[in-house]
Amino acid sequence: MSFAALKQSRQAQLDKLVTEVSKLSQPATSSGQENDDFWKPDVDKAGNGYAVIRFLPAPEGEDVPFARVWDHGFQGPGGWYIEKSLTTIGQKDPVSEHNTILWNSGIDANKDIVRKQKRRLSYYANIMVVKDPANPANEGKVFYYRFGKKIWDKIEEAMNPAFEDEKAVNPFDLWEGANFKLKIRNVEGYRNYDKSEFDSPSALADSDDELEAIWKQERSLATFTDPKNFKSYDELKTKLDRVLGLTGESKPNNTAADLDDELDARPMPQASPAPIASSDDDDDDSMDFFKKLADE
């Protein structure tokens, strides 16, 4: 798609985006590594932070402005297991199969293990950093940005407003999208993004030439769901067996999506006083730390 076509097809892009988002609510049928191409917000000593970013449209040659990736991250007696899930690309995954066996056992202790090993969802998008007080050198640059469900819900809410007096906004639109004010607070020891919000719709730059220059800086999102960037089932199964000390198991009947639905429907048992669970987006930061441990 040319830049001119990108501008002319904005409504069609919003319609297609809404369609793609609606697919995410459907059950699944049976990446690249993070580096300097990624931007992450910094926080102060109190755990608070602020930045303004702009989500960008799909890069040239691609149709969707985001990628959705499932992964697992947990520690067993044989070390860490931090790998992308093959369910991302519609294939069977050994961790999901193992979790299903444990869950179907009906044993509460096994269900607690499943909760710790369940799939984790991340989204990837191209962004331009509008304001980064902690790192001003990032401003005006295009990066990958990885985020979780809390921020995704705000994107979806902008595209599908709850009230009839609110106009739908495509946050990924260069002309009629909106800057995203990322407001991070430390709430009981965890990062909280609830105060984050979209600004009023506006063009990202003054001219189409400037917008095109920004658009051309985008990187491919298809890499995150390219099958060649996933380990094979056998490789993952071998690693899982080593981490958990598994020997042999029967095959499960449930899908990973079925198990996710059941896990979400049942609250995790908590001791008293109940600990505050970390947010989806805070999990991103935690998993970065755990991955470093696993790689050492």
pLDDT value, residue 269:
44
* 131 within a domain of the structure (yes/no): yes
Helix or strand holding residue 127 (H, E)? strand 120-131
Instruction: Give yes or no for a contact between 123 and 284, defined as CB atoms under 8 angstroms apart.
Output: no
Task: Enter the pTM of the model.
Answer: 0.76
* Spatial distance between the Cα atoms of 117 and 99, rounded to a whole number of angstroms: 7
pLDDT value, residue 158:
97
pLDDT value, residue 247:
67
Q: Minimal CA–CA distance to 224: which of 20, 55, 61, 69?
A: 69
pLDDT value, residue 5:
80
* 80 within a domain of the structure (yes/no): yes
* 241 within a domain of the structure (yes/no): yes
CATH of the domain at 46: 3.90.198.10
- Bridge partners (DSSP) of residue 124 are 67, 146
* 273 within a domain of the structure (yes/no): no
* 275 within a domain of the structure (yes/no): no
Residue the block writes with tokens 């020997």: 247
* 255 within a domain of the structure (yes/no): yes
- Contacts by 260-269 with C-beta closer than 8 Å and gap 24+? 260/118, 260/119, 261/27, 262/103, 263/103, 263/114, 263/115, 263/118, 268/112, 268/115, 269/108, 269/112
Domain span at 16: 3-268+281-295
3-state DSSP percent of the chain in helix, strand and coil, to 5: 40, 20, 45
pLDDT value, residue 111:
96
Q: What is the pLDDT tens value at each position of the chain, 296 positions in all?
A: 778 888 877 777 777 777 666 655 544 433 334 578 999 999 999 999 999 999 999 999 999 999 999 999 999 999 999 999 999 999 999 999 999 999 999 999 999 999 999 999 999 999 999 999 999 999 999 999 999 999 999 999 999 999 999 999 999 999 999 999 999 999 998 899 999 999 999 999 999 999 999 999 999 999 999 999 999 999 999 999 999 998 654 455 555 565 566 555 555 444 333 333 344 555 555 555 445 545 55
Q: What's the total number of domains in the chain?
A: 1
* 276 within a domain of the structure (yes/no): no
- Bridge partners (DSSP) of residue 70 are 121
* 102 within a domain of the structure (yes/no): yes
Instruction: Give yes or no for a contact between 139 and 59, defined as CB atoms under 8 angstroms apart.
Output: no
